[in-house]
Each structure stands twice: as C-alpha cells, then as structure tokens.
C-alpha cells in the first residue's frame, strides 16, 4: 500500500480524544517486550484510532530507517544463511490494514486535491522527504493548500514522541528556533503539517535524518 492511500485512509478514519499510548509502548511492541494483555490492548487501540495507527506506522518507519543506517556494506559481509526477518515487520502489514479498515470510506470517493503528495507538492517540501542533513534544519516549508487559512506543524523524534509543536500560522514555512534546534540531535525525525482546526487533515509525515 502506498503512502498516499495510507494518508487518505488516516484522514477519513475515526480519531479518539483519549490520550495516545506512550511511545515506549510502541517500541516495546516492536521489540516483542509487551506482555500479552498489554499487546492486545495496544493493538485494539490501533484498530479503533487512526492517531494510534499513525504512531505505530511512524515507529516502524523510524525503526526501518535506523536498521538501514547501521547495516554493514554487503561487499564486506560473507552471509552464511539468509538473515532472519525482524519479528516486528509483520506489524507493518497489520498497521496498514487496520488503518485502511477504520478509514474504508475513503475508497468510495475521489481523493481530495488539497492533500495529495504530487510531484509539485513534493518539490516545495523543505527539507525534502528522506533528506540527510549535517545539521538540524533552520526552517520547515510546505505547499500552500486551497482553502486552508492556518497550519500547525508537529515534529517527532526517532521514538515517535512529539518533541515540538508550532503555534498555528498563516505562512507556508516556519523558522525553527535555536532552542528547538538544540533538541534535534543525530537521528531520524518525522514532521507533519496539519490544518489548524480541521481534525485529521494534513500533509506528511515527512522524514529527515541528521548525521553530523
């Protein structure tokens, strides 16, 4: 399933007002450290809440990026047997299917034009999705969306924890203050642009990596 369809499903899915599960719970789920009762409770929350499903999806994307970053060059490795598939990867298909299940209505109508990740939209994203940076970014920029008056940006760290949330702004870019930049160390990050006051609508998440 591609990112665009996942985002469409997330926007049309139900969102709970209850506090989101702790990011450590998702990490423990991927590591196989949750006891059966907590595991079932967390997966049930993912099945009924698109925000929890998105957190799981982000946690898996960050985990995959971290694994790719530390993988040794294939030319220097003598592989004696196929490498075991990480035990958490089955969750990727599960999260995608759950996210689509709770947002199934999206398949019955055309996708909204203001939220598609088109090539024109992608060209305006700064830093670009998947960028590798040598320092924390000084600003975030995105494409203007028809009918949207104010935007709000959320930045997540490699544990899928929210580390910064902007005030609603009318502009399509935000300068990142030095205090926030100081919290952006080496590692992977995800950021998302949301329409202020419109539950679930937005662009992203977009990923960047900082490696000094």
The predicted-structure confidence for 181-212, as pLDDT tens digits, reads as follows 999 999 989 898 988 766 556 888 888 999 98
Residue 128 C-beta-side C-alpha neighbours within 13 Å: 7
pTM: 0.51
The residue that leads in pLDDT, 35 or 89, is 35
d(CA 84, CA 82): 6
Give the residue, 82 or 63, on which the prediction is more confident: 63
Tell me how far apart the alpha carbons of residues 182 and 34 are, in angstroms, rounded to a whole number: 32
Class of domain 119-210: mainly beta
Phi, psi of 33 (to 5 degrees): -100, -5
CB within 8 A of 51, min separation 6: which ones? 15, 16, 20
pLDDT digits (tens, 9 = 90+) for 37-60: 787 788 778 767 777 777 777 777
How much is the pLDDT for 166? Answer: 93
- Contact indicator for 55, 21 with CB cutoff of 8 Å: yes
At residue 89, φ and ψ (nearest 5 deg) are -70, -25
Residue 82 confidence (pLDDT): 45
Where along the chain do its domains lie? 3-108, 119-210
């Amino acid at each position: 399933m591609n990112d665009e369809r996942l985002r469409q499903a997330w926007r049309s899915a139900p969102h709970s007002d209850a506090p989101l599960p702790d990011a450590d719970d998702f990490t423990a789920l991927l590591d196989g450290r949750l006891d059966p009762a907590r595991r079932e409770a967390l997966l049930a929350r993912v099945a009924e809440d698109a925000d929890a499903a998105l957190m799981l999806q982000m946690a898996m994307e960050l985990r995959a990026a971290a694994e790719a970053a530390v993988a040794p060059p294939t030319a220097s490795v003598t592989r004696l047997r196929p490498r075991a598939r990480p035990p958490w990867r089955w969750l990727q298909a599960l999260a995608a299917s759950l996210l689509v299940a709770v947002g199934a209505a999206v398949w019955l109508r055309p996708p909204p034009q203001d939220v598609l990740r088109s090539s024109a939209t992608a060209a305006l994203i700064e830093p670009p999705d998947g960028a590798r940076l040598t320092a924390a970014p000084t600003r975030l920029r995105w494409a203007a969306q028809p009918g949207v008056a104010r935007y709000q940006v959320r930045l997540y760290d490699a544990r899928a924890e929210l580390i910064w949330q902007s005030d609603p702004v009318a502009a399509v870019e935000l300068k990142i203050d030095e205090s926030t930049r100081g919290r952006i160390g080496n590692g992977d990050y995800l950021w998302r642009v949301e329409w202020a006051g419109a539950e679930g609508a937005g662009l992203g998440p977009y990923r960047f990596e900082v490696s000094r």
